[in-house]
């Protein structure tokens, strides 16, 4: 394997950081890597909010489900799907933008995901680690207000970045045969393969927690998907000008 493949396959989520700062110029280069990611039809529909205000950071800790590393990370970024900038581009040419389409929601959200993953990979290459914070969608309207996001902009997720103060193992992923199919969707052998994978995950959690957590992947999924998943999101997105058509 070459060094890029090794880097990508060594991803871990890191939640404990040293006090070492990330210089602004280094962060800027990482953001440029995000900009270099693929973007649907060149829309470039991702805006990043760099949250430096300590008061806002502390508020975000609570809004995201009491995740203290939002405050302790060297940098905290919020990635926003941004159709407002496209509205500005249309206004510059006196064109009436047709907004509210579900496709626009999909493309803007994907733009953010691609952008953010490039940033995290660039960070990893520099010895900087991080973790995504989907919890900002727990209280998404409050986050929107706190960051003063205009109409047609919504926060997709946050990201903590910093120099690591822990060295967790790489979490085992699903077997290749479960996620890579040829010519059609085949799942006739997936149950057995997932059962075998479950034992890998169970061993990983036992080792990571010193035996305090003894859970398989399929158990986690079965527990998670019997609960509501942020039911406020549909109405919120509609209020921001998304998912209307």
Q: Angle between the 217-224 and 190-209 helix axes, to the nearest 10 degrees? A: 100
Same domain, 108 and 161: yes
pLDDT of residue 22: 98
Overall number of domains in the chain: 2
Does the residue 69 lie in any domain? yes
Decide if 86 is inside a domain: yes
Which residues lie closer than 8 Å to 158 by C-beta, 6 or more apart? Answer: 60, 64, 70, 76, 77, 78, 79, 132, 133, 134, 135, 136
On whether residue 7 sits in a domain, the answer given is yes
In this structure, are 38 and 112 located in the same domain? yes
Check if the beta carbon of residue 46 is closer than 8 Å to that of residue 112: yes
CATH number of the domain that residue 60 is part of:
3.40.109.10
Which residues have a Cβ under 8 Å from the Cβ of 117 and sit 6 or more positions away? 37
pLDDT digits 0-9 by tens, 138-185 = 999 999 999 999 999 999 999 999 999 999 999 999 999 999 999 999
Q: Is residue 67 part of a domain?
A: yes
pLDDT of residue 171: 95
- Domain containing residue 47: 3-169+228-239
Tell me, yes or no, whether 149 and 210 share the same domain.
Answer: no
> Is residue 18 in some structural domain?
yes
Residue 222 lies in a domain: no
Average pLDDT over residues 86-113: 97
pLDDT digits (tens, 9 = 90+) for 81-90: 999 999 999 9
Residues 114 and 198 placed together within one structural domain of the fold: no
pLDDT class for 1, splitting at 50, 70, 90? confident
Phi, psi of 104 (to 5 degrees): -65, -40
Same domain, 29 and 128: yes
pLDDT computed for residue 211 by the predictor = 82
pLDDT tens-digit readout, 39-97 = 999 999 999 999 999 999 999 999 999 999 999 999 999 999 999 999 999 999 999 99
Query: Do both 181 and 81 map to the same domain?
Result: no
- Flag whether 115 is in a domain: yes
- Do 17 and 88 belong together in one domain? yes
Is residue 245 domain-resident? no
Each residue's pLDDT tens digit, 185-223:
988 889 999 999 999 999 999 988 888 899 999 999 999
Question: Residues 82, 185: one domain?
Answer: no
Q: Which of 12, 50, 45 is nearest to 30 (CA)?
A: 50
Same domain, 189 and 153: no
Q: Are residues 68 and 157 in the same domain?
A: yes
């Amino acid at each position: 394997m070459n060094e890029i493949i090794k880097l990508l396959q060594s991803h871990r989520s890191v939640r404990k950081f040293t006090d070492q700062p990330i210089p602004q110029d280094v962060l800027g280069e990482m953001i440029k890597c995000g900009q270099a990611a693929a973007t649907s039809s060149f829309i470039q529909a991702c805006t990043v909010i760099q949250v430096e205000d300590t008061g806002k950071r502390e508020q975000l800790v609570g809004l995201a489900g009491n995740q203290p590393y939002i405050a302790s990370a060297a940098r905290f970024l919020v990635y926003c799907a941004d159709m407002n900038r496209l509205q500005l581009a249309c206004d510059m040419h006196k064109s009436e933008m047709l907004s509210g389409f579900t496709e626009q929601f999909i493309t803007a959200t994907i733009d953010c995901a691609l952008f953010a993953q490039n940033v995290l990979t660039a960070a990893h290459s520099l010895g900087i680690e991080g973790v995504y914070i989907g919890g900002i969608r727990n209280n998404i309207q409050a986050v929107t207000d706190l960051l003063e996001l205009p109409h047609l902009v919504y926060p997709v997720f946050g990201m903590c970045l910093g120099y690591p103060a822990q060295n967790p193992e790489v979490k085992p992923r699903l077997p290749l045969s479960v996620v890579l199919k040829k010519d059609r969707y085949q799942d006739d052998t997936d149950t057995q393969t997932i059962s075998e994978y479950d034992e890998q995950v169970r061993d990983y959690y036992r080792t990571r927690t010193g035996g305090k957590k003894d859970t398989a992947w399929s158990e986690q999924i079965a527990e998670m998907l019997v609960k509501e998943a942020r039911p406020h999101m549909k109405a919120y997105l509609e209020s921001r000008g998304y998912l209307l058509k």
